[in-house]
Amino acid sequence: MLDKTAGHNRPGFNGPGYDYDYLIQDDRVHQSIYTDPAIFTAEMTHIFGAVWVYLAHESQIPKNDDFITTKLGLRPIIVLRDSDGVIRALYNRCTHRGTTLCRLEKGSAHIFRCPYHGWTFNNTGKLRNVPWPDGYASDFKDSKFNVAQVPRVESYRGFIFGTLNMDAPSLDDYLGPVKGPIDEWLDRHPGGKIAYCEANRLMYRGNWKLAYDNSCDGYHVVFSHRSLLDMENRLVNEADKGMSFYKGRPDSAPMYMKYFGHGHHFKDKRPNMEIKPGAMWAIEGPHPGMEHYEAELRRRFSARADEALDLAASEPVNINVFPNLSILGNHIQVIEPLNHYETNTIWYGTAVVDDEGVWGDALPLINALRMRTQEGFPNFGEVDDLANFEEIQRGLAAFEDEWVYMHRGMDIPGRISGDADGVITAPATDEMFMREYIKEWKRLMQTEPNIQIKREP
Amino acid sequence: MSATAMHDPSKTSYYVNDDLYDEIIAAFTNWQRDDLAVIDPVERDMFRRLLEQEARLLDKDQLEEWLKLFAAECVYWAPATVTGGDPRREVAISFDDRRRMEDRVYRLRTGFAWSQKPKSRTVRMVSNVEVFRTDKPNVRMVRASFQICEFRGFETRSLPGWAGYRYVEQNGRWEIQARQVNLLECDQCIRNPSIVI
């Protein structure tokens, strides 16, 4: 049968704009949302310019004057704690000629001096001085010379977000029910806190949404990660390590996924295991130092040792905050789009911080183990997912074959349930979360955000 | 014989403990010193030959043979920061013990490691080999620059860096006890880092 919609005359591309109702359908999406550079450019305004975007974690800028450089979509940004302790997201752009002001990835500075002509700014963004001002007739007290900044910057329990959109809801409302899993994830740590401790940094040649499409996908696990599952279970008799609970009949396993609105979703694999201390540790595959540190923690804590070991074990959840933040196991994964076919995914490691001294001098033992447990997935799991994302991007170059399907679990009576708050629940192996978040993506692409920048007065 | 020798390091990991971390961190601190440089061309050539042999085994995908170059209790460490840091407090690109090195080889051999299907073809260049004495007569530190040219996915890329080796003379030969791989791009996003670097 001939597919009459195929080719350049397809209806989604008639007229000046894109017909997003054509590109995003109930059960499938058009390949161009992954391959079209013009759609990518529009996303930098309609998605990354419109919603609360994750920027940094407070543990990266613990003291006044600390900064890191990052991006909001493609916009170069300095996230900092100014000399008065206010967290700001400055545009990394001199107001004079547009030069980036800061070229370091992190550091501490109370001023930023432009390397090109020496214009100097306080870390509030305010212009401090200009070399040889007598050569200008203009008034440098005019706020237009102060560095632009993201007008709305807020933290949720250490996670710093910013939005350029004055019409966006509050961060609290934007996050909504996804705060529940974030709270539970944080609260399993002493004091409800974690700190970043470097990262496994990866890049792939594929659209950024391929990573977000995968972030809650329970269908790919036993296929994409087959080598990891085989590896983790090679030394045991009963294959129960790692993500082995996906084997057999994962559709009817107790794990589930939830869609929370605003593009956020959550996969909870904890119901697959018994609720008792040590249950998470029990399914950890082999890691360097595992037997030594386990023996040492058991010697010191006997009854409480399982609790300590669970802190080194990976929490079996995927908490995905649209568009660029995922809490996966103990990692914070940040998605950084580079262009329509290249993406960075940074897997920040997290360490336990124990301000109250709950674990005393055993804290370094827990973290020594936790560093090694976190290196496993990026090394032996994520690399295979990224290879598959790259192969999707290659496959989609067959552009007359227009559709990418995400209809697993759809139209099966009794399979998907919704509650009064609009939260939707489905088996962990369904593609429900993809269909729901991409509907939100479509709504945003069809909406004009009220983008503004702020400057110090 | 080490106190943990009763454990098979291919099966369990008791030797990766605070003493080992301290030993490794100390060994890789302040070791590239002219006053410790080995001048003897015979000894230098012997280590150069070991590095060239290693590069050949990796290029020819003889990973099981490559594993045999290492001491039973060994470390393969690729830091994610230029300074290397303390691997107990920061994650590395990888910090493998013997068992995890064997895991790594096992995974690549499953046939389901999609990041290496098809496999990369590599050519490794090793140069600027320098050998340094330590305070132990049976321990040497070796520094070498490397460039891995890797062909995969219709293109060839370059992964340059330098490696530090801690060689221990035992069992009648020089064995690698620790190998620190410092990629030039160690703290940047790297595409498909799935070969042994």
Question: CB-CB: which of A234, A289, A365 is closest to B13?
Answer: A289
Cβ within 8 Å, pair B95-A234: no
Closest-CA residue of B relative to A369 is: B88
Q: B56 to chain A, minimum CA–CA distance in Å?
A: 23
Place of tokens 């971390």: B21
> In chain A, which among 19-58 make CB contacts under 8 A with chain B?
none
Per residue in B71-126, pLDDT tens? 999 999 999 999 999 999 999 999 999 999 999 999 999 999 999 999 999 999 99
- Planar angle of CA A414, A417, A421, nearest 5 degrees: 160
Contacts of A11 (CB under 8 A, 6+ apart): A5, A19, A22
**In sequence order, what E strands does A331-439 have?**
331-339, 342-352, 403-405, 417-418, 424-427
Cβ within 8 Å, pair A390-B106: no
Cβ within 8 Å, pair B114-A384: yes
Closest-CA residue of A relative to B102 is: A231
CA–CA dist A55, A72 (Å, integer): 7
Q: Is B174 exposed, middle or buried (0-12, 13-18, 19+ CB in 10 A)?
A: buried
Q: Do residues A160 and A79 make contact, with C-beta atoms less than 8 angstroms apart?
A: yes
Q: Do residues B90 and A371 make contact, with C-beta atoms less than 8 angstroms apart?
A: yes
Helix (H) or strand (E) holding B164: strand B155-170
- One digit per residue, the tens of pLDDT, for chain A of length 457 reads 565 554 455 556 654 579 999 999 999 999 999 999 999 999 999 999 999 999 999 999 999 999 999 999 999 999 999 999 999 999 999 999 999 999 999 999 999 999 999 999 999 999 999 999 999 999 999 999 999 999 999 999 999 999 999 999 999 999 999 999 999 999 999 999 999 999 999 999 999 999 999 999 999 999 999 999 999 999 999 889 999 998 989 999 999 999 999 999 999 999 999 999 999 999 999 999 999 999 999 999 998 999 999 999 999 999 999 999 999 999 999 999 999 999 999 999 999 999 999 999 999 999 999 999 999 999 999 999 999 999 999 999 999 999 999 999 999 999 999 988 889 999 999 999 999 999 999 999 999 999 999 999 9
- Rounded to 5 degrees, φ, ψ at B60 are -90, 10
Closest-CA residue of A relative to B152 is: A387
- What distance separates the 2 farthest-apart alpha carbons in chain B? 49
CA–CA dist A89, A111 (Å, integer): 14
Q: What is the pLDDT of residue A2?
A: 63
> In chain A, which among 297-326 make CB contacts under 8 A with chain B?
none
Identify how many contiguous H helices and E strands chain A contains and give both numbers.
14, 21
Task: Say how many CA atoms lie within 13 Å of A137 toward its Cβ.
Answer: 0
Question: CB-CB: which of B88, B94, B191 is closest to A204?
Answer: B191
The rounded Cα A227 to chain-centroid distance in angstroms is 25
Asked if A387 has any chain B CB less than 8 Å from its own CB, the reply is yes
Q: Do residues A404 and A31 make contact, with C-beta atoms less than 8 angstroms apart?
A: yes
Asked if A107 has any chain B CB less than 8 Å from its own CB, the reply is no
Q: What is the pLDDT of residue B153?
A: 84
Strand partners, B173: B170
How far from A294 is each of A84, A275, A304, A330, CA to CA, in Å? 44, 20, 12, 18
Tokens of residue A157, six digits: 């329990």
| Interface confidence (ipTM) of the complex | 0.96
Cβ within 8 Å, pair A202-B193: yes
**Count of Cβ atoms closer than 10 Å to residue A265 Cβ:** 29
Tokens of residue A368, six digits: 């020594």
Q: What is the pLDDT of residue A1?
A: 57
Per residue in B129-187, pLDDT tens? 999 999 999 999 999 999 999 999 889 999 999 999 999 999 999 999 999 999 999 99
Q: What is the pLDDT of residue A419?
A: 87
Cβ within 8 Å, pair B14-A227: no
How far from A146 is each of A71, A119, A154, A179, CA to CA, in Å? 19, 10, 21, 35
CA–CA dist B132, B139 (Å, integer): 9
CA–CA dist B35, B56 (Å, integer): 31
Q: Do residues A220 and B99 make contact, with C-beta atoms less than 8 angstroms apart?
A: no
**Count of Cβ atoms closer than 10 Å to residue B4 Cβ:** 18
Which of B7, B20, B25, B107 to mutate: most A Cβ within 10 Å? B107
Q: Closest by alpha carbon to B79, among A197, A363, A232?
A: A197
